[in-house]
Amino acid sequence: MPSRWPRPPRRSIEPAISTPIGAIPEAVRDGETGLLVPPRDVPALTGALERLMRDAALRERMGQAAHAYAQASFGIDRMLDGMERVFACVVEARR
């Protein structure tokens, strides 16, 4: 759902339609995992909604890509790897 304020996208396997506000472009890759529209651009939002509503194959393709990208970029394994690196740096710095 488009927003004028940054907030994390909902967790789903459906493609997102959002605005490129804050970190949203890191989570929604325009044309690959969802569609980005300019803030307050009703015709662009309408077009994006119509595009996804009319094209089931596109919704499916983007949804699968969104799920894969979310798991690879923001999944628990990625988060734990990052935390492990931080902890290792802290331990090393204290030596």
> How far is it, in rounded angstroms, from Cα 27 to Cα 66?
9
Read off the pLDDT of residues 18-57 as tens digits, 9 standing for 90 and up: 999 999 999 899 999 999 999 999 999 999 999 999 999 9
First to last CA, the chain: 48
Pairing status of strand 34-36 against strand 16-18: parallel
The pLDDT of residue 78 = 82
> How far is it, in rounded angstroms, from Cα 50 to Cα 67?
22
> How far is it, in rounded angstroms, from Cα 47 to Cα 18?
12
Which of 31 and 9 is assigned the larger pLDDT?
31
Compute the average pLDDT of residues 14-20: 92
Do 45 and 1 meet the contact criterion of CB atoms below 8 Å apart? no
For residue 16, pLDDT beyond 80: yes
The pLDDT of residue 47 = 98
Task: pLDDT band for 5, please (50, 70, 90 cuts).
Answer: low
The pLDDT of residue 12 = 52
Alpha helix segments (H runs only) across 19-75: 24-27, 42-54, 56-74
pLDDT > 70 in the chain, percent: 87
